[in-house]
């Protein structure tokens, strides 16, 4: 399934995934106690090319993890048009990491949509469609999945090696699908808070028509996502790079 660039912002804020060998799945335990990133407020600078037009903007994200619960609240603004996305994910934290309960997205000039992980009925439901999927363990939404990757890196660093592959069943606004991520090498990147080393993780595209997603997690910054890039087959892209990190 191809996600358009207009929906790509949500993936940044846009993780129960566990890093294991490629023959295994993400729902397996990484450690006895998941080591989630500490709470923080993150600000990102955005640069993009959409239909040949260069755009800039910013995004703010509030990540909270405390007392067995987590929440992710984000807001994205683009030059000229203003706020284009609000999103929120919340749920529990267990030994495997994040366990989403609800995910809400409000996009520019559209009604808000809610994805619900009904743990009593073991079903994923969508306000924007009649589609449902069974909950088998390890499912994520597009907001939580990146933070689950960071949790994996912190909980089992010895397994977070270049060449490793992880997979998860990820729910969007109307449906869900299996995603795979490949862990790459550490790279030196430039950010608004200085140069830093960050491990590149890329979503594996099923076909050459799928959107490509690359993200960089910085070990020196609690494995926060410090850069993420969404690339379309037609050359359009959106890149978000950290400009400020504040711990509450």
Q: How far apart are CA 107 and CA 7, in angstroms?
A: 8
Phi-psi region of 30 (alpha: psi -120 to 50; beta: other; left: phi over 0): alpha
pLDDT for position 8: 43
Alpha-carbon torsion (124, 138, 4, 107), positive or negative:
positive
The total number of structural domains that make up the chain: 1
Per-residue pLDDT, 79: 81
In this structure, what are the phi and psi dihedrals at residue 24, rounded to the nearest 5 degrees? -110, 175
Share of the chain above pLDDT 90, in %: 64
pLDDT of residue 234: 84
Q: Is the pLDDT of residue 51 over 90?
A: no
Burial 160-192 (b: 16+ CB within 10 A, else e): beeebbbbbbbbbbeebeebebebeeeeebebe
**pLDDT over 50 (residue 1):** no
Q: What is the pTM of this model?
A: 0.83
* CA proximity to 153, closest of 39, 46, 236, 30: 30
The CATH number assigned to the domain holding 103 equals 2.40.360
Q: What pLDDT is recorded for position 236? A: 83
Sequence-distant (≥ 6) Cβ neighbours of residue 61 within 8 angstroms: 12, 13, 41, 42, 43, 44, 72, 73, 74
Mean pLDDT of 64-74: 96
Give the model confidence (pLDDT) of 101-129 as tens digits.
999 998 877 899 999 999 999 999 999 99
pLDDT in tens, 214-247: 999 999 999 999 998 888 888 888 889 999 999 9
Question: Which of the listed ranges 75-79, 94-98, 156-160, 211-215 does the model predict with the highest average pLDDT?
Answer: 94-98
Residue 111, class by beta-carbon neighbours within 10 Å (0-12 exposed, 13-18 middle, 19+ buried)?
A: exposed
Mind listing the pLDDT tens digit for each residue in 15-41? Answer: 333 333 333 444 444 445 599 999 999
Output the pLDDT for position 44.
97
Range of the domain at 72: 5-246
What pLDDT score does 72 carry?
98
Question: Average pLDDT, whole number, for the chain?
Answer: 85
Which residue, among 155, 41, 172, 183, has the nearest Cα to 98 in the 3D structure? 155
The pLDDT value recorded for residue 180 is 94
pLDDT band at 70 (very low <50, low <70, confident <90, very high): very high
What is residue 208's predicted lDDT score, i.e. its pLDDT? 64
Does 2 have pLDDT greater than 50?
A: no
Q: What is the pLDDT of residue 33?
A: 57
pLDDT digit string, tens, across residues 178-203: 999 999 999 999 999 999 999 999 99
Written as six digits, the tokens of 200 are: 């590149």
Contact at 8 Å (CB) between 198 and 58? Answer: no
């Amino acid at each position: 399934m191809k996600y358009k660039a207009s929906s790509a912002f949500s993936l940044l804020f846009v993780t129960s995934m566990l890093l294991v060998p490629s023959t295994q799945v993400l729902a397996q335990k990484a450690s006895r106690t998941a080591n989630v990133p500490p709470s923080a407020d993150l600000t990102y600078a955005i640069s993009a090319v959409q239909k040949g037009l260069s755009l800039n903007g910013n995004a703010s994200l509030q990540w909270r993890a405390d007392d067995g619960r987590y929440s992710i609240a984000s807001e994205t603004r683009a030059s000229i048009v203003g706020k284009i996305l609000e999103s929120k994910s919340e749920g529990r934290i267990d030994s495997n990491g994040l366990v989403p309960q609800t995910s809400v997205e409000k996009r520019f000039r559209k009604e808000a949509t809610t994805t619900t992980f009904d743990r009593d009925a073991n079903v994923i439901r969508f306000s924007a469609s009649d589609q449902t999927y069974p909950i088998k363990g390890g499912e994520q939404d597009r907001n939580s999945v990146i933070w689950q990757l960071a949790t994996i890196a912190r909980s089992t660093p010895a397994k977070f090696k270049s060449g490793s592959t992880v997979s998860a069943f990820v729910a969007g606004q109307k449906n869900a699908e299996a995603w795979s991520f490949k862990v790459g090498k550490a790279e030196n990147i430039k950010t608004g808070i200085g140069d830093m080393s960050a491990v590149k993780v890329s979503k594996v595209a099923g076909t050459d028509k799928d959107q490509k997603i690359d993200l960089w997690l910085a070990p020196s910054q609690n494995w926060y996502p410090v850069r993420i890039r969404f690339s379309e087959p037609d050359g359009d892209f959106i890149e978000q790079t950290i400009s400020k990190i504040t711990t509450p």
